[in-house]
Amino acid sequence: MRQSEWLIPTLKEVPADAEASSHRLLLKAGYIRQLAAGIYTYLPLGRRVLRKMESIVREEMDATGAQELLMPSLQPMELWEESGRASAYGPELIRLTDRNGRGFALGPTHEEVVTALVRQDLSSYKSLPITLYQIQTKFRDERRPRFGLLRCREFLMKDAYSFHADEQSLDRSYRSMRQAYERIFRRVGLEFVSVEADSGAIGGEGGSHEYMALAASGEDTLLVCPSCGYGANVEAATSGPAMNADCETTITGEELVLRKVHTPEIRTISELCDFLSIAADRIIKTLLYSTDTGVVAVLLCGDREANEIKLRKLLGTEHLELADAATVERVTGAPSGFAGPVGLSVHVLADPEVMALKEALTGANEPDWHYAGVVPGRDFIPDQVGECRNAEAGDACPHCGTALSAWQGIEVGHVFKLGTKYSSKLDASFTGADGARRPMLMGCYGIGVSRLLAAVAEQHSDASGFHWPTEIAPFHIHLLLLSPRDERQRELAEEAYAALTKAGYEVLLDDREERPGSKFHDADLIGLPLRLIVGKAAGDGWIEVADRGGKRLVAMASLLEEVDAQLRSPSASRQT
């Protein structure tokens, strides 16, 4: 294709509010344009990458035996009433009424629609299992769309749904889908991990796994074990208790005697550490929370953060927020910063690490006073003990004990065992071999295809531009014609373009009347796997091949051989 005819509007500068690198570069390199917050147009280059990713997803889905559908985006609200989810989602679910005043939702996902479809036409166990999928636009009115394609309000998703007569069948499909996901992410050149996940609002009995692209701008934090492969979102991650440094010795070397220490205006953990020159993990941090059942004191070692997802589960409460200053004063008799478990009358939940402390420091529930020589189990007995800390890098892996590492991740896929949550609500039943009617078991499997594009862009780019993996690059070769007016150069460029195209390569010919410098700048941004340059050396019939290994002159006669060698070898898609 000739770049002089193509809509590839590269920019010199990008809007300052584009925070993620992929967002900045996709705008700057002319791949996307924003129509409104979280709503994007894919320009020709962006569309070509998206289409290549779609066809990889399609190939791997078809290979599992899944059957492709295309379901409507306009979904009757009656279905969401039937599934009970109409009230579970607020402003995020885009609702509208048609000319007859009938209610619809713009589909954020298709559990209701696909279950209503299957219940019409499938009713015998002989028709199961079956897996249906689509690659289709989803709508979710995100409160804070951001980071370009990473968090949109209108986005492309591959969503698949499987229907089964029994658990074994569901397990087989779940496993087969997970293998297909591994193949898809490898083929698009993504560096990813699969982690155990919290099933969240979608519900379903059988657990779920998330697929995370490793990237600095990822909003999720993952804990991954480098040796046994354990991985989990920090929301769900557990970890062995950190081995507190010399837990056996006492802080001050004195008897383990409970005693008050005057700590005037010393409120924070770090002030206490400095004031008494002790380590934070010897302090019992006492956090007061307001919950459905009143105020609760949560005890953590001073160097830990509370995990509110775990707290909600342990305390069985929906409502959970840090108590305000007045409540802290009322409950402890002191302003915040002096709270402690000794003599406290509210429900106390202690993290196991606290109970492992031989001796600790904590607030004395008196302004300007703390306790030293506190022995958990002697000076206070918690009502409840449960892991409520965030797992952190360096903690022991719960499976093998190796130190965990922490990564930032972008969720690009999520697979769920749904059980009968939707089939029972929407009455999608089948007649078993024994003649009995039962609700079908379901699984659902999603990949955010447009988000995947941005995640690959995050991993395959640097300050100057993209380095697309060959299989999803918008074109294979960038052929730069430096002086289009120079007859000899134009002839050689056209000859090369024709030969490469005939050989099956996708070539973008930069035939614009632009200075060479701006052609190089744009080629860096667009980031095709291989660059060929027709310039001064054309006079002697030479074409320049530019790749990571530097620049080389090749004659037209050996161009195809050279290009094959470059594009077939793994180094071609310069993995950053």
For residue 361, give every residue at least 6 positions away whose Cβ sits within 8 Å of its Cβ, in sequence order, or none: 251, 261, 272, 276, 278, 282, 283, 284, 370, 371, 372, 374
Residue 323 found at the interface with ligand 9G3 (CB under 6 A): no
How far apart CA 455 and CA 248 sit, in angstroms, is 47
Angle, alpha carbons 366-370-374 (nearest 5°) = 120
| Closer to ligand 9G3 by Cβ: residue 109 or 286 | 109
| Closer to ligand 9G3 by Cβ: residue 95 or 488 | 95
Which residues in the 174-203 window bind ligand 9G3 by CB under 6 A? 202
Q: At closest approach, how far in Å is the CB of 77 from ligand 9G3?
A: 11
DSSP, collapsed to helix, strand or coil, labels residue 519 as helix
How far apart CA 338 and CA 365 sit, in angstroms, is 5
Helix or strand run (H / E) with residue 160: strand 154-164
Which residues in the 491-530 window bind ligand 9G3 by CB under 6 A? none
Q: At closest approach, how far in Å is the CB of 35 from ligand 9G3?
A: 20
Which residues in the 16-45 window bind ligand 9G3 by CB under 6 A? none
Q: At closest approach, how far in Å is the CB of 243 from ligand 9G3?
A: 39
Q: At closest approach, how far in Å is the CB of 61 from ligand 9G3?
A: 13
For residue 168, give every residue at least 6 positions away whose Cβ sits within 8 Å of its Cβ, in sequence order, or none: none
Q: At closest approach, how far in Å is the CB of 88 from ligand 9G3?
A: 7
| Closer to ligand 9G3 by Cβ: residue 3 or 134 | 134
Q: Establish whether the linkage from the previous residue to 529 is cis, with ω within 30° of 0.
A: no
Tell me how long the chain is: 576
Contact 66, 160 (CB under 8 A): yes
- In the numeric block, which tokens belong to residue 202? 């979608």
In this structure, which long-range contacts are made by residues 88-96, counting pairs with CB atoms below 8 Å and at least 24 apart in sequence?
A: 88/201, 91/141, 91/143, 92/140, 92/141, 92/142, 92/143, 93/140, 93/141, 94/139, 94/140, 94/141
In terms of C-beta density within 10 A (0-12 exposed, 13-18 middle, 19 or more buried), how is residue 396 classed? middle
| Closer to ligand 9G3 by Cβ: residue 106 or 493 | 106
| Closer to ligand 9G3 by Cβ: residue 159 or 547 | 159
| Closer to ligand 9G3 by Cβ: residue 92 or 324 | 92
**Closest CA relative to residue 350, chosen from 337, 335, 360, 364:** 360
Residue 140 found at the interface with ligand 9G3 (CB under 6 A): yes
Check the CA dihedral 224-225-230-234 and report its sign: negative
Q: What are phi and psi of 529, to 5 degrees?
A: -65, -30
For residue 361, the one-letter residue type is L
Q: At closest approach, how far in Å is the CB of 158 from ligand 9G3?
A: 8
For residue 43, the one-letter residue type is L
Residue 269 found at the interface with ligand 9G3 (CB under 6 A): no
Q: At closest approach, how far in Å is the CB of 424 from ligand 9G3?
A: 17
| Closer to ligand 9G3 by Cβ: residue 92 or 205 | 92
| Closer to ligand 9G3 by Cβ: residue 93 or 128 | 93
Contact 135, 449 (CB under 8 A): yes
**What is the x/- site pattern for ligand 9G3, positions 85-114, by CB under 6 A?**
----x--xx--------------xx-----
Q: At closest approach, how far in Å is the CB of 93 from ligand 9G3?
A: 4
- In the numeric block, which tokens belong to residue 496? 């090369």
**What is the x/- site pattern for ligand 9G3, positions 377-416, by CB under 6 A?**
-------------------------------------x--
Check the CA dihedral 40-467-457-134 and report its sign: positive
Count of Cβ atoms closer than 10 Å to residue 521 Cβ: 16
- DSSP class of residue 166 equals S
Distance set, CA 567 to CA 225, 275, 336 (Å): 35, 63, 63
Q: At closest approach, how far in Å is the CB of 190 from ligand 9G3?
A: 18
| Closer to ligand 9G3 by Cβ: residue 93 or 410 | 93
**What is the x/- site pattern for ligand 9G3, positions 418-457, by CB under 6 A?**
--------------------------x-x-----------
**What is the x/- site pattern for ligand 9G3, positions 196-235, by CB under 6 A?**
------x---------------------------------
Count of Cβ atoms closer than 10 Å to residue 560 Cβ: 16
Q: At closest approach, how far in Å is the CB of 226 from ligand 9G3?
A: 29
| Closer to ligand 9G3 by Cβ: residue 414 or 478 | 414
Q: At closest approach, how far in Å is the CB of 201 from ligand 9G3?
A: 7
Q: At closest approach, how far in Å is the CB of 123 from ligand 9G3?
A: 23
- Residues facing residue 78 across a β-bridge: none
- In the bound complex, which residue of the shown chain has the CB atom lying closest to ligand 9G3? 446
How far apart CA 373 and CA 251 sit, in angstroms, is 8
Q: At closest approach, how far in Å is the CB of 232 from ligand 9G3?
A: 18
Q: At closest approach, how far in Å is the CB of 203 from ligand 9G3?
A: 9
- In the numeric block, which tokens belong to residue 351? 């993290």
Residue 465, CB-side half-sphere exposure with 13 Å CA sphere: 21
| Closer to ligand 9G3 by Cβ: residue 161 or 468 | 161
Which residues in the 155-174 window bind ligand 9G3 by CB under 6 A? 159
List residues binding ligand 9G3 (CB under 6 A): 89, 92-93, 108-109, 140, 159, 202, 414, 444, 446
